[in-house]
Amino acid sequence: MTKFKELFENLDPFKDTDKKEFYTRGNVGSSKYTINVKDGKKTHPDGSEFFGIEIFKNKKKYEARIKELINQGYKER
């Protein structure tokens, strides 16, 4: 019974909610480049994590924003 309890204690869905992270996607709808960013502070009313979206048409601005996020301590997902 103890191993069972230990196993499920490690599956806490809100364990890493304060992590700063982002992920990228290309060609979403009519947008060319998108970055989804989680700052670790904003949440939805139900408590789930909130990802903001940034849309870019220019590849240089897109890549500059990724470098900026990494310098600010964000991790790519």
Question: Considering the domain boundaries, does residue 6 fall inside one?
Answer: no
The answer to whether residue 68 is domain-embedded is yes
Task: For residue 26, tell me if it sits in a domain.
Answer: yes
- Is 23 within the bounds of a domain? yes
In a domain, 29, yes or no: yes
Q: How confident is the model at residue 37 (pLDDT cuts 50, 70, 90)?
A: very high
Q: What percent of the chain has pLDDT over 90?
A: 45
Residue 8 lies in a domain: no
Q: 38-48: per-residue pLDDT in tens?
A: 988 888 898 88
Residue 59 region, left (φ>0) first, then alpha (ψ -120 to 50), else beta? alpha
What is the pLDDT of the chain when averaged over all its residues? Answer: 83
Evaluate if pTM is beyond 0.75: no
- What total number of domains does the chain contain? 1
Domain span at 47? 14-76
3-state secondary structure at position 18:
coil
Domain assignment present for residue 44? The answer is yes
HSE-CB for 66 with a 13 A CA cutoff = 16
Question: Which residues neighbour 21 within 8 Å (Cβ) at sequence distance 6 or greater?
Answer: 37, 38, 40, 74, 75, 76, 77
> Per residue in 2-16, pLDDT tens?
666 665 555 555 555
**Is there a domain that residue 9 lies in?**
no
